[in-house]
Chains A and B, each alone.
Chain A
Amino acid sequence: MEAISGTAFVVATIVKTLVFFVILLLGVALTTYMERKVAGFMQDRSGPNRVGPLGILQVMADGLKFILKEEVTPEAAHKRFFLLAPVLALFPATVLFGVIPLGSPLPTPWGRVDMIVADVPIGFLYVLGIASLAVYGVVMAGWSSNSKYSFLGGLRGSAQMISYEIGLAMSLVPVLMLAGNVEMPVLVSMQQSFAAGPGTYGVWFIFPLLLSGFFFLVSGLAETNRVPFDLPEAEAEIVGGYHTEYSSMKFGMFFLGEYFHLITTGALISVFFLGGWDIPFWRGDNIRVLADGTVIGDPAWWKTLLTMGAFTVKTTLLVVFFMFIRWTIPRFRYDQLMDLGWKVFLPALMLYIMLTAVAVFVLDRAQIVGPAFAGALFGLNLLLMLIFLYLLDRGRLVRGATAKTRAATATEGD
């Protein structure tokens, strides 16, 4: 089936943008509610349960409160940037969502509509480019507030986000090696379960690239500025960090931005490592669009709905997983955070990229393709994962406070 074109394409794109954006906004609103419920669950209490059935209208109450609160702009603030910062905090996560394939192509009377707002030819380079702009929201807020605590939060935020962006980008290099392509829909079609033929692996990338997935998960979590990586807004040390001076809906935008980021990170992990919209153990959804426009498999509207459902389930589970982490692990110390990024992740990723490159080369030479290829890489990754986790275990790579004091006193004694 021909891809949609001409005026119909423009109309389809506008409709897709509106629909997906509304879905994303609803998702964010529900995620804030979910966070409270998960927190309640983790701490053995009920969570919000007063407004509406099961407290679900709490979201509306919060939104109303954000809007009705008095808005304060500090006298000494740099007005223009102070206003712009909350917008910039929302912008990257929202724009990133446009390149994520959300479901199998939808056949319509006017042609095939791909379930992706913008199928950019640079795929995940776009993701990296936009993600690298996320830091400006934090820095601008911290600097323009003209207050000590905000400034410290901004500094911490910028240092942390540059450090973990490296992890984020480098953990995608092995994906690039397997995929040989940067286009997001192609990435999904390569991971479709049991798919056969050239250019497919038949399994999700989390298996052949387990370690890569782990690095991406942790770096992505650090980019969202959430516990255990919430040092830019550590309330015990620097009040509220970069958003100390913000009130009313301006604070609300930072608050929502965090959840936008959370959902986008979950969606990205789904696409890169969990097969995107692929439904596991089912061949019916193996629909691929080749570069020349031919379609393998037969698209149907119910398949589009099913695959979008699968994608939503994956993303939601990842978001819940992030919430579990938030309510389980305490905050890092700042030097531990930097050590982990620069002294652990960077060298480990360099080594991992080298090893993956060698493995891919050897397997290519041995003419091993498809699932066997993925299986061999999975074995290698399992081994590397065990070694890495053994080394990462407390005290071996990231030193605890007691070990640090002991080392310090030992040097003084010499």
Chain B
Amino acid sequence: MIADFFFVLFAVMAIGGAISMVLARNPVASLLYLVVAFFALSGTFVLLDAHFIAAVNLIVYAGAIMVLFLFVIMLLNLGRSEKVDLRGPLNRIVAITVAGAFFALLFVALSAGSQTEMAGGMGQATVDAMLQSRGAVGVVADPMFRSYLVPFEITSLLLLAAIVGAIVLARRRAP
């Protein structure tokens, strides 16, 4: 009962935030609406017992990446022009087609009764047992640092390379 109430609350918040984000003319406003959507998404993750994902979603997306975006938009003073790119019949047709195709895909995927396959074939009982024995973080950490340690480390190396590359590009050339 309470879970249903919160699901509806977060769902309305998420969809409302997403729609407001698209409709807002000002980039700062639309970014803040996106943060609302992220926050609501985290709420729905909690309702799905995915506590770790909820926390990481908040920390990484709402807390770090969005603040960075906000910072860049505010520093560069973007969004003074009111022109919208998606004008003209051709653009509209393309946009509607892509959105329609995406929703059709979602509909097919969900109506085929493939929800259990999405969770890796695990039932609710297995997930509950894992949560009981390893805790919300352990369930994610165990496979990440045991089975998939090498891919994990390679990903972090890749990110490090990107950071170093960005610094090299941004650095002023020596006179």
- Interface centre among B2, B35, B59, B75, by most chain A C-beta atoms within 10 angstroms, is B59
B67 to A140, Cβ gap below 8 A?
no
User: How many angstroms between the C-alpha atoms of A162 and B59 in the bound complex?
Assistant: 11
Given contacts A81-B32, A154-B74, whether A132 and B62 have CB atoms under 8 Å apart is yes
| Contact A81 B29, CB 8 Å, known A129-B63, A155-B74, A159-B71 | yes
Q: Which residue in B55, B62, B64, B67 is a CB contact (below 8 Å) of A122?
A: B55
1/0 contact trace for B30-71 toward A, CB 8 Å? Answer: 001001000100100000000110111011001110011011
CB distance from A158 to the nearest CB of B (A): 5
Residue of A nearest to B51 (CB): A122
Complexed CA–CA distance, A315 and B82 (Å)? 50
A180–B70 CA distance with the chains assembled, in angstroms:
35
Assess whether B15 is interfacial by the CB under 8 Å rule: no
Interface residue tally for chain B (C-beta within 8 Å): 29
User: Is B18 among interface residues, defined by CB-CB distance under 8 A?
Assistant: no
Q: Is B165 an interface residue (CB 8 A)?
A: no
The tally of CB-CB contacts under 8 A between chains A and B is: 84
- Is B135 positioned at the interface, with any CB of A under 8 Å from its CB? yes
B136 at the interface (CB under 8 A from A): yes
A121–B51 CB distance below 8 A: yes
Q: How far is the CA of A132 from the CA of B35 in the complex (A)?
A: 12
A239 on the B face (CB < 8 A) = no
User: B137 contacts A125, CB within 8 Å?
Assistant: yes
Chain A contacts for B64, CB-based, 8 A: 132, 162, 165
Q: Does A182 contact B (CB under 8 A)?
A: yes
CB of A133 within 8 A of CB of B62, answer yes
Q: Per-residue 0/1 for A64-97: is the Cβ within 8 Å of any B Cβ (1 yes, 0 no)?
A: 0000000000000010010000000000000000
Contact B135 A183 (CB under 8 A): yes
Residues of A within 8 A of B (CB): 10, 78, 81, 120-122, 125-126, 128-133, 135-136, 139-140, 143, 151, 154-155, 158-159, 161-162, 165, 169, 181-183, 291
